Each structure stands twice: as C-alpha cells, then as structure tokens.
Amino acid sequence: MPTNDRASWYDEQAGPLVRLYALTRGRARPSPVLLDLLSLVTADNDPARDPMLSPEQAAVLTLCRIRPRSVADLAADLDLPLGVTRVILTDLLEYGHIRVTRPVRPTALPDERLLQEVIDGLRAL
C-alpha cells in the first residue's frame, strides 16, 4: 500500500534496490569474531583498489585509512545495518586487510584521572 505519490518504480516498502544479502554473499551472521559496537577498525595499507573487493569493502578501507573508526561509526557512515557491516568487516579481517582493537571496558577503568579528563572536556565543549 504505497501511499506516497512519488512516481518512482520502486518505493521504500520494496526495500533497498540491492538486497542486503547480496552485499554479504548470502550470509546473515558474521563469523564469531567479536566486533563490539565500539571496536576500532584500522586499515594499514591501501588495498582499496583491489578489484576483488566489493564496493562496500573498499569503502571501509578508504574510511579507516584516515584514522581508526568504530564499528558503529562505520555502519552509520556506510548507511548499512550493523549486522551487514559486521559481515563485511569479518571478511576484511579474514583477508588481513584490517585490524580490530577491542574497546576499553569501563570496568577496567575506575581511572579517576580519565573520567576527570572527560568532565573537563565536556566543560570545554
């Protein structure tokens, strides 16, 4: 029941033009590598022109070469759901194109000095 009057040949209810499973070669779940929302992804070299890479994989490498980016940032940057982003990252990790650093856990962090730095940083915003 498309109620919008935009005369387009597909609409939002039809879903994305490229089905998400096409981006992940049919897989719905990433392999069990832990990719926390705040895990940091780093790309060291520039394999972004590798013709074997999908456009999404190349986009990740381009984004992460400037500076490390979190998984959540990448999903938002690529405008892809988290699950799909994780599958793409898992592949890149297996190919050795990226490194992933786990986030610091606050439980390992009753570091008063760091939290004071956060408070000072917020005040200065």
26 binds other proteins (CB under 8 A): no
Please list, residue by residue across 48-58, b when 16 or more beta carbons sit within 10 angstroms of its beta carbon and e when fewer do: beeeebeebbb
d(CA 121, CA 65): 26
Residue 105 as a binder of other proteins (CB under 8 A): the answer is yes
- Supply the minimum distance, in Å, between the C-beta of residue 46 and other proteins: 21
- Binding footprint of other proteins, residue count (CB under 8 A): 38
Q: Does 54 bind other proteins (CB under 8 A)?
A: no
Pairwise CA distance, residues 45 & 42, whole Å: 10
Under 8 Å between Cβ of 47 and 61: yes
Give the binding site for other proteins (CB under 8 A): 1, 13, 20, 36-38, 40, 68, 70, 72-73, 75-76, 79-84, 101, 103-107, 109-110, 112, 114-119, 121-123, 125
